[in-house]
Amino acid sequence: MSWKASARHGVREAPGGFALVQELLNTRSAMSYGPDLLGTVEDAQWWVTDALATWSRTSGLPAPTLLLSATDLRSMRRLRSAFEQVVLAVANQEPPGALPPADVPVNLAPDAAGWVRVVPTGRGTRWLASALWAEALLAQQAGLWPRLKLCHNTVCRAAFFDTSRNNSGVWHDVSTCGNTANLRAFRERRRLLGHSEELEIGRGPEVH
């Protein structure tokens, strides 16, 4: 099993530390890509250890070792749901409503060159939430946030980074979810057309 959640979907990954947000979203079970990686403590532990090691290499910041419990899994699933709501709100796929507050601290630390960096802080899953919201803020400031999307196939909902020029992508994979949706729409049109023809036939000739 791959512990890289996004790799299971074969999607293009978001750049830099922003990929950590995409990773969390893609832990959810979807179609034939594997189980929910936040379903058991063992799976979640493997995933978070791998994800944070990758994030640390990419961001150049240290990441703590998180030892998860069953209570932590519930917190992480709530965090995943919160990010799903935010991503869908940006894409206007969900009606506007009250979004959950982040309620996490971060540190602002200047580096040796004088640039101020957003550094996650806290313990356990609070640190993870701090890192995720910090990456979301940085992605918004860089103009990258609107390109993180959830596949329009509601059975799939894989998180993908849209690299199209006009940011118009809606499927994580056109050859699978896109074609499936097109075929479904085609069959529905044929069904409706057939129903209309039956009504015309059943109406009989007009009498003048």
pLDDT of residue 180: 52
Q: Model confidence over 131-185: pLDDT tens digits?
A: 999 999 999 999 999 999 999 888 888 999 999 889 878 876 766 685 554 545 4
Residue spans per domain, the chain: 4-170
* C-alpha span between 46 and 188 (Å, rounded): 43
Determine what percent of the chain is predicted with pLDDT higher than 70.
77
| Contact in structure between 170 and 88 (CB atoms under 8 Å) | no
Residue 181, pLDDT score: 47
| pLDDT one-digit tens code per residue, 5-24 | 988 888 889 999 999 999 99
**Predicted confidence (pLDDT) at residue 207 exceeds the cutoff of 70:** no
d(CA 120, CA 137): 12
- Is CATH 3.40.50.300 what the domain over 4-170 is classified as, yes or no? no
Task: Read off the DSSP letter of residue 114.
Answer: S
